[in-house]
Structure 1
Amino acid sequence: MPVTQTLEADVLRLQDPELAEILMGELARQSTTLQLIAAENFTSKAVLTALGSPLANKYAEGYPGARHHGGCEIVDVAERLAVERAKALFGAEHANVQSHSGSSAVLATYAALLRPGDTVLAMGLPFGGHLTHGSPANFSGRWFDFVGYGVEAESGLIDYEQVRTLARTHRPKAIVCGAISYPRHMDYALFRAIADEVGAYLIADAAHPIGLVAGGAAPSPVPYADVVCATTHKVLRGPRGGMILCGGELAERVDRAVFPFTQGGAQMHTIAAKAVAFGEAATPAFAAYAHQVVANAKVLAEGLAAEGLALTTGGTDTHMLTADTAPLGLDGRSARGRLAAAGMVLDTCALPHGDVRGLRLGTAALTTQGMGEAEMSQVAKLFAAVLRNEADSKRAREEVRDLAGRFPPYPDE
């Protein structure tokens, strides 16, 4: 069939061998190194197929049944399917699946609930907050008056008394609970109570834990937050993109904030891929995966602590952990460089109560590849060996290559 032929990778090799070589090079990189970036994962082949489908050709501004372009009767079905699957998966009254990213989902949520100049209470960036939580370099910090809450000095856990005090003092229009480098569950019920006390909206930025929520391995913010913003990649294993969940009373405001206020045409191939991911996440196999992600993170955390790294909050409840490499005599950026040379790919992050960088890593991708607790213990030992002695990087690189080779992300490739 002609359509099928256009979907074959061989077509790219024939027409644009230069780019095909780049794509194959990236697949080789992913297949021979350990992907420890907490925000990354491997999608299924079904998700990749949807991303490369003819739906990429369709312009579809608007929403199902109310598009600004003709010929949308098929893509309307795809979007409705994605919406219904998201609502069922997370128990939400309304879902918008058009956001191009987690940041654009947050932008649309602010647009739906706030006006420029409104006060917003969110986790401070030095403590794990995201750029969209008030960075002066971001639209959030330029358009709104952000107040940042932090963590307790000794435990590294969110200082909920500070949250309550700041809320009472500043009377914010909205409170954001969510972070990019906080490895513990958040107390959504307590955030809800504080928001109700001061008459604020509660926005949950669940970009990181939403996949664990889908698999029943983390508490859900949906029953507590007015709006939940999330990504569809990370632990959820879908395409790169965002989504918004909310109650029915805010549905129209959220939809209008996405389109036409902050975005134009929906990416229908990505929405179809989101539908695939939501369907996969509703299975018992995904629930087992989500719990294994957490189990792996706990073992990795224990292994790294035993090797002398200082873990913020003392461990993890999720797929993520953050660590201070200072006890091994390295700053975060130098540590990341050494680990990258050995084939272990991860990020740095801000550490609370100090102008230093630590390491942020996660177990979602390794778990997708089929690795378990034994492999996490092996990774912890490799990790520490490289950080203690840069000369061990070459030996570690070969061991990393062997480990990755035993657990390929796409076994048939």
Structure 2
Amino acid sequence: MSFNRCSRQASKLLATNGSSLRAATSTLYRSQRAASIHPSQVASQKRNVSDTHHDSQQKLLSTHLEEADPTIFAILQKEKQRQKHFINLIPSENFTSQAVLDALGSVMQNKYSEGYPGARYYGGNEFIDQAESLCQKRALETFRLNPDEWGVNVQALSGSPANLYAYSALLNTHDRLMGLDLPHGGHLSHGYQIPNKKISFISKYFETLPYRLDESTGLINYDQLEELANIYRPKLIVAGTSAYSRLIDYARMRKITDSIGAYLLSDMAHISGLVAADVIPSPFSYSDVVTTTTHKSLRGPRGAMIFYRKGVRRTDKKGNQEMYDLENPINASVFPGHQGGPHNHTITALAVALGQAQTKEFREYQLTVLENAKALSDRLGNSVNEGGLGYNIVSGGTDNHLVLVDLKNRGVDGARVERVLELCGVAANKNTVPGDKSALKPGGLRIGTPAMTSRGFQPEDFRRVGDIVDRAVTITQKLDKAAKESAEAKGRKNPGVLKAFTEYVGNGDDISEIVQLRREVEDWVGTFDVPWKDE
């Protein structure tokens, strides 16, 4: 309040009767004092009032997990211990690096960024753009691709959605596609269905027909695929697997798609790390689109990438060129077609993983993955006379990171062996094998080497793993027999069901063979390094 205004107010008050004089004088004093207080002092007083509120809010935001949520922290610590003391044989899992974990837990997760670099629907994305552009650049470099011929979208959240986004860009609803049948080593996202049910919704959105293996060899039956393709005339064929231990003949697949004018989409989710390291053949030379997850053999965060061709697709007999038109449809399919804002912390972490994938250490790692898979396959699959254990290995061996074991001739199924292995400290997964009637009752076991190779396992270690698997199978055989006898004695209608087995086995603490093997596994694997920092 100005001095002149205070004077006018005082004059007015003084003109009142005498009884109001003290009140007028007091009002004048307060007015003058208020006029003399600097705005910064007022702000300081307000801050003092809100300090307690501010401190409590700041504590909520800045307290570390151990103090902020001891319950979740305890679960995380238990999971760390489980991972450290388990043998992880699941081919689709791995141990990502500490640097990738750091990026995943970074402030990049705070930002919303619908759109693409340079064309966002939110402000403040300068550094988000830098991270995503670098991720795209490294993706092309990692797989040795010319940016004039290839582009990549790194925003897809995971592998199955990435396939859906790619299909939606290339196909119209109810267009036809073909993929490897799930019981023969394919993947759900390639359109799996059974006679009375469409298991994967891909088979609802599009018309799907599977191709299969030659069951006598365990290899993809390319002759049958070609015959079916010429009859079915799909618009897209998927070259990709989730439980196939051999190399795909991409040149043959390309010849088939060219003969019917179809697109070839290669799903390299399982093998992208091996492709990046250039230790197995690449699908890029023959494919129109390549999709991949990023957390399996590539050893990155849980995400996905969609690579697409650019430039000339084909030239007709008259010399007329047909150009690829994939970039805009694929990008539009990801956003806004199926997703909103991308996960920027994941994209940033993926950029880190792709940088690591370009190192000589990463190539050495992938070579060891292959050596270890062969050692495991040979130990399990070779005859006893050849130093093996005589198991039936689908296709007779492996060219990549995984081994598919057919257990049917051992009298047990994959689900029971998976459970016993888990109780013994070994993570593997049941899997369908050729000849299975249903994916719900798989007769095989899928095991792989990427995760434990990251922990430092060498071929001799995987030969020991083969022995551990064999011991678990023997334990399973005994327990399965005992479980059926117990269920029959109790009058159970279906004594051979899996539920009767799992109820009989329980947590394994009362079964001496399981307790002994578990102790051996924990003591042994706990001596190998883990990639994270112990805090």
- TM-score, normalising length: structure 1: 0.96
CA shift digits 1:301-345 (9 cap, x unpaired): 111112232110011111111101223321111111111111110
Alignment partner of 1:388 is 2:448: no
Identical residues among aligned pairs (%): 42
Alignment partner of 1:175 is 2:237: yes
2:278 to 216, 229, 233: 216
Alignment partner of 1:102 is 2:164: no
Contact 1:33 1:400 survives alignment (8 Å):
yes
Contact 1:118 1:144 survives alignment (8 Å):
yes
TM-aligned CA distance change 1:10 to 1:298, over 3 Å:
farther
Structure 1 residue aligned with 2:69: 16
Q: Counterpart of 2:179 in 1: which secondary structure?
A: strand
Structure 1 residue aligned with 2:402: 320
Structure 2 residue aligned with 1:54: 107
Structure 2 residue aligned with 1:125: 182
Contact 1:107 1:262 survives alignment (8 Å):
no
> Could you tell me how far 1:354 is from its partner in structure 2?
2.6
Contact 2:408 2:443 survives alignment (8 Å):
no
Structure 1 residue aligned with 2:258: 196
> Could you tell me how far 1:404 is from its partner in structure 2?
1.4
Find the aligned partners of 2:524 and 2:274 in 1 and give their Cα distance.
25
Find the aligned partners of 2:464 and 2:432 in 1 and give their Cα distance.
26
**Letter of the 2:342 counterpart:** A
Q: Counterpart of 1:234 in 2: which secondary structure?
A: coil
> Which runs of 4 or more aligned residues in structure 1 lie more than 3 Å from their structure 2 counterparts after TM superposition?
none
Structure 2 residue aligned with 1:254: 330
Contact 2:415 2:430 survives alignment (8 Å):
yes
> Could you tell me how far 1:60 is from its partner in structure 2?
0.6
Find the aligned partners of 1:236 and 1:367 in 2 and give their Cα distance.
13
Find the aligned partners of 1:55 and 1:335 in 2 and give their Cα distance.
42
2:435 to 321, 342, 353: 353
Query: Which runs of no fewer than 5 residues in structure 1 stay unpaired?
Result: none
Structure 2 residue aligned with 1:205: 267
Q: Counterpart of 1:384 in 2: which secondary structure?
A: helix
TM-aligned CA distance change 1:172 to 1:411, over 3 Å:
closer
CA shift digits 1:342-366 (9 cap, x unpaired): 1110111111123242101110000
Find the aligned partners of 1:381 and 1:9 in 2 and give their Cα distance.
48
Structure 1 residue aligned with 2:215: 153
Contact 1:308 1:327 survives alignment (8 Å):
no
Structure 2 residue aligned with 1:330: 412
Larger Rg: 2
Structure 2 residue aligned with 1:311: 393
**Letter of the 1:279 counterpart:** G
Structure 1 residue aligned with 2:295: 233
Q: Which has the higher contact order (CA 8 A, sep 6+)?
A: 1
Contact 2:397 2:403 survives alignment (8 Å):
yes
**Letter of the 1:107 counterpart:** L
- TM-score, normalising length: structure 2: 0.74
Give the superposed CA RMSD: 1.6
**Letter of the 1:406 counterpart:** T
Contact 1:222 1:245 survives alignment (8 Å):
no
